[in-house]
Amino acid sequence: MSEKIVLTGIKPTGTPHIGNYVGALKPLIEMARSNRTFMFIADLHALNIIHDAAQIRQHTYEIAALLIAMGLDLNNAVLFRQSDIVQVSQLSTMLMNVTPKGLMNRAHSYKAAMDKNMAAGLDTDAGVNMGLYTYPVLMAADILLYGTDIVPCGADQKQHVEFARDIAGYFNHIYGNVFKLPEPVIGQSTGIIPGLDGRKMSKSYDNTIPLLAPENELKKKIMRIITDSKTPDDVKDPDTSTIFQLYTHFATDDEIADFRQKLMTPGMGYGTAKTILFDKINAVLTPVRNEYERLMANPSEIDAILADGAARARAVAAQTYDRVHHAMLG
């Protein structure tokens, strides 16, 4: 096991799709096998968007159940709910005082909100609450509280991790060497995972394939993948085929080579190709779906795992926070 401490947070704001599974969740589960990992559900970070407690709770359970069902190694990984650790809010308050306001003005997410407002002819800060504006400070608190070395994340979160590093630097400069400086690690490219229409799979394009949908719904979605108009007798190009691209993320090397060959040989239509894809994805996801459904029907089991994770996380968080409190207030 490496000595590095890995940390990541997942926001409970939506239902995960196959793109999330392949691009983010699977690599995280893999990473947690060989690293001490803090993995939490960032419910406090959901608050600037979702003002409905029931919805946040539901998404929190969904993500926790999914990670457990995917086989997250709970010995190495500390799985918990962000809001269960009161020290994160406390540390966030402390960090506000060494964080330049100008740094927050430069945050991509805040700038995107301002750009959208300007394009719509609204006040630049319309609809922007302080939760959104100070989001990077809370995220810095998440990262710095657990002595994090590495934050695996998507490219969209890189700036936030760099801010955490900057904020740690400002703090250390004033108060001495309290925080370790974290580093973002952008997932090695799994390539673009195409959605139903061939563009990158994304909630904002409305082209996703849900990860935990019942079998018949999964099948219906897959049968709806857009293809070109080649007939069974035509030779097809696997490298521009959404069906083939998706297949590569679920099948073995031999199966992938075999499927490639089939597409490049006259005889197989897209309907058959989609059925092969469905069978493969369904075979991989069925055990995950079954375990997920079992856990969702037994929330007390999820609660117990999250409570255990919170106790382990708190032990580390309390130590860090005490050092900060002592440095700032004596």
Q: Which residues bind ligand TRP (CB under 6 A)?
A: 7-9, 11, 42, 45, 139, 142-143, 151, 153, 157, 160
* Residue 87 and residue 314 in contact, taking contact as beta carbons nearer than 8 Å: yes
Please measure the distance between the N-terminal and C-terminal CA atoms of the chain and give it in whole angstroms. Answer: 37
Please state the closest distance from residue 141 (CB atom) to ligand TRP, in A.
9
Please state the closest distance from residue 329 (CB atom) to ligand TRP, in A.
25
Please state the closest distance from residue 65 (CB atom) to ligand TRP, in A.
18
Please state the closest distance from residue 283 (CB atom) to ligand TRP, in A.
29
In this chain, which residue has its C-beta nearest to ligand TRP? 9
Helix axes 53-69, 270-296, angle to 10 degrees: 110
Please state the closest distance from residue 330 (CB atom) to ligand TRP, in A.
29
**Is the CB of 70 or the CB of 85 nearer to ligand TRP?**
85
Residue that is written with structure tokens 């990158």 in the block: 200
Please state the closest distance from residue 14 (CB atom) to ligand TRP, in A.
11
**Is the CB of 88 or the CB of 281 nearer to ligand TRP?**
88
**Is the CB of 10 or the CB of 251 nearer to ligand TRP?**
10
* Residue 123 and residue 117 in contact, taking contact as beta carbons nearer than 8 Å: yes
**Is the CB of 107 or the CB of 243 nearer to ligand TRP?**
107
Instruction: Determine the Cα–Cα distance for residues 97 and 102; give it in Å rounded to an integer.
Output: 13
Amino acid at 63: I
**Is the CB of 160 or the CB of 274 nearer to ligand TRP?**
160
**Is the CB of 35 or the CB of 241 nearer to ligand TRP?**
35
**Is the CB of 138 or the CB of 276 nearer to ligand TRP?**
138
Please state the closest distance from residue 107 (CB atom) to ligand TRP, in A.
11
**Is the CB of 32 or the CB of 139 nearer to ligand TRP?**
139
Three-state SS annotation for the chain: CEEEEEEEEECCCCCCEHHHHHHHHHHHHHHCCCEEEEEEECHHHHCCCCCCHHHHHHHHHHHHHHHHHCCCCCCCEEEEEHHHCHHHHHHHHHHHCCCCHHHHHCCHHHHHHHHHHHHCCCCCCCCCCHHHHCHHHHHHHHHHHCCCCEEEECHHHHHHHHHHHHHHHHHHHHHCCCCCCCEEEECCCCCCCECCCCCECCHHHCCCCECCCCHHHHHHHHHCCCCCCCCCCCCCCHHHCHHHHHHHCCCCHHHHHHHHHHHCCCCCCHHHHHHHHHHHHHHHHHHHHHHHHHHHCCHHHHHHHHHHHHHHHHHHHHHHHHHHHHHHHC
Please state the closest distance from residue 218 (CB atom) to ligand TRP, in A.
25
Please state the closest distance from residue 158 (CB atom) to ligand TRP, in A.
10
**Is the CB of 107 or the CB of 281 nearer to ligand TRP?**
107
